[in-house]
Amino acid sequence: MGSSRVIILVVAAVAALGLMLIVRGLAGHHAPPPAVVVAAPERPMTQVLVAHRDLPTGTRLASGDLGWQAWPAEALNPAFITDGHSAQAAPAGPVAAIARKAEAAVASTGPMEALYGAVVRSPILVNEPIVQSKLVRSGQGGFMSVMIRPGMRAVAIPIGVSTAAGGFILPGDHVDILQAKQASDGPNAGHGYTAQTLLQNVAVLAIDQLSEPAKGAQTMVGAVATLEVPAADAEVLARAKAQGEVVLALRSYADAGGATGRATADGRQATGEVHIYRGVAMTAAMVAP
């Protein structure tokens, strides 16, 4: 290869290299500046007590009904119930979201457990913050009226150890109401006695002024039992109280799902008026025997 040809190749290589550098420089000169990512400011969050399911009026709060949920501190209402911890900035990202759920799971349960046993006065929707104005507790005004189901009435009758299953009847149990009285007709009139089941499967709302037994208690001895009876059957208890002593017969939990109301002599639901409940409305229908 001649020297002239080598010189030409070297010059061409140098020119190509120079052209490449020029093109790169022009491209870098016109390239847009890199975008600047500005992180959103972290929002302080706190844990607020909310409903984990829809809670209709009359619901007695228990474990599983309530839970903690992260809530923006700037949107916090003074009526909301918090875990008592200071608001903290909420980190971003999927990992932070998992961390927030874990923190909510281990949040203080003191304020939550303090509400167990309270009764819902006004309906609460799922994920709605819990406020005290929608709850009522035992001993507060209006507690018993919230406990009573629509179409039912609370009636108190005197009881004793011998007439209340030896004290083993507790609030929440179901009983049959019996009465024995002197026979007024038939061959035993004036001498023998007859017994009759007046009402069956009646819920016990309270013993004296206690709507729930003490923790671990197996018996409650009181002087008065408050019972929940259909409105049309309240007069049955009123007459029974005027006629003499009545006896409460404790029912098995397995029988607590039966009908409530007047019973025939053989213990079956009496024919006649039947109460039909649709939501909060109650209608009565007559059934032929």
Mean pLDDT of 174-203: 80
Mean pLDDT of 206-218: 86
At 106, is the pLDDT very low, low, confident or very high (cuts 50, 70, 90)?
very low
Maximum Cα interatomic distance, the chain, rounded to a whole number of Å: 151
The pLDDT of residue 187: 63
pLDDT tens track for 154-174:
999 999 999 999 999 999 899
The pLDDT of residue 154: 92
Task: Choose between 260 and 4: higher pLDDT.
Answer: 260
Poorest-confidence range of 88-92, 147-151, 256-260?
88-92
Domain boundaries, the chain: 44-136, 150-286
The dihedral built from the CA positions of residue 81, 84, 90 and 94, taken in this order, carries a sign that is negative
The pLDDT of residue 1: 57
The CATH fold assigned to 44-136 is Type Iii Antifreeze Protein Isoform Hplc 12 (3.90.1210)
Given a cut of 70, is residue 136 above it in pLDDT?
Answer: yes
Mean of the per-residue pLDDT values of the chain:
77
Please answer whether residues 51 and 130 qualify as being in contact, where contact means their C-beta atoms are separated by less than 8 angstroms.
yes
Is the pTM higher than 0.85? The answer reads: no
Task: Choose between 124 and 40: higher pLDDT.
Answer: 124
CA distance 182 to 25: 118
The pLDDT of residue 35: 67
